[in-house]
Amino acid sequence: MSYPRIAGQSLSRLAALSDGIFAVAMTLLVLDLRVPVNEVAHPERPLWSDGMAGSEHEVWHALADVGPHVLPYAISFMTLGIFWIGQQTQLNHFSATDRHLTWIHIAFLAVVSLMPFSTGLLSEYVTYRTPFILYWLNLLALGVVLLASLRYARRADLFKPEATDAVQGAMRRRIVFYQCCYAIAMALCVINTYVSMVILIILQLASAIAPPVPPFNRY
């Protein structure tokens, strides 16, 4: 009996590792929403003084600097939620796993762990195209690895009997459909980066809500 034949065969441990990595990545996203540092408190002044009104204005002005970071945070948080559901859907339809499939999902989690970095880069340079391209590559890698997982599991006969061809086809179509949508959204950054961000957040909302509107009601 060779070691590769007995290694990495626990679906429950793989799911547990996945939950942990996603939890950490989703938590790290919020660290980019830093509290603005500004001299806004004037304890020596009475609450009714004109200076307090000025300080409140400074607070709102400082908070405006956080604004560009909010949309990337919202997009990435939803993105990680969507891909967590996508991976869990696959794991729920696997009857077992093997060393190769486990490593495919470890590679997927490695790409997940890059999301806080690509999100931070995007929010810091929101008006530049290069961060959008890198962010899209992160999304593309997530989809490609999940698609590779489906294809390997099918070839290795690791699906449950109830995971019919229709079920497997639905999972594949969803990945391909949204990857095409992400590519279009990223292409729009040539026009305006904020247009890309708005399209991305609409896509993620559509994915999460699944409105009864074709083609989103199918994917």
Please tell me the predicted confidence (pLDDT) of residue 42. 47
Domain ranges across the chain: 6-209
| Burial category of 218 from C-beta neighbours within 10 Å (exposed 0-12, middle 13-18, buried 19 and up) | exposed
Residue 91 and residue 156 in contact, taking contact as beta carbons nearer than 8 Å: no
Q: Is 125 helix (H, G, I), strand (E, B) or coil?
A: coil
pLDDT per residue as tens digits for the range 79-108: 999 999 999 999 999 999 999 999 999 999
Of the listed ranges 15-24, 29-38, 120-129, 155-164, the one predicted with least confidence = 29-38
pTM of the model: 0.84
Using alpha carbons only, give the angle 145, 175, 142 rounded to the nearest 5 degrees: 30
Highest mean pLDDT among 39-48, 53-62, 108-117, 189-198: 108-117
Q: Is the dihedral of CA 148, 150, 152, 155 positive or negative?
A: negative
Q: What is the pLDDT of residue 113?
A: 96
Q: pLDDT higher for 54 or 48?
A: 54
Number of neighbours of residue 175 by Cβ within 10 angstroms: 20
Using the predicted structure, report yes or no on whether residue 157 has a pLDDT greater than 90.
yes
Closest CA to 102 of 216, 10, 164, 202: 10
CA distance 73 to 135: 12
**Between residues 32 and 11, which one has the greater pLDDT?**
11
pLDDT digits over 124-149, tens only?
888 889 999 999 999 999 999 999 99
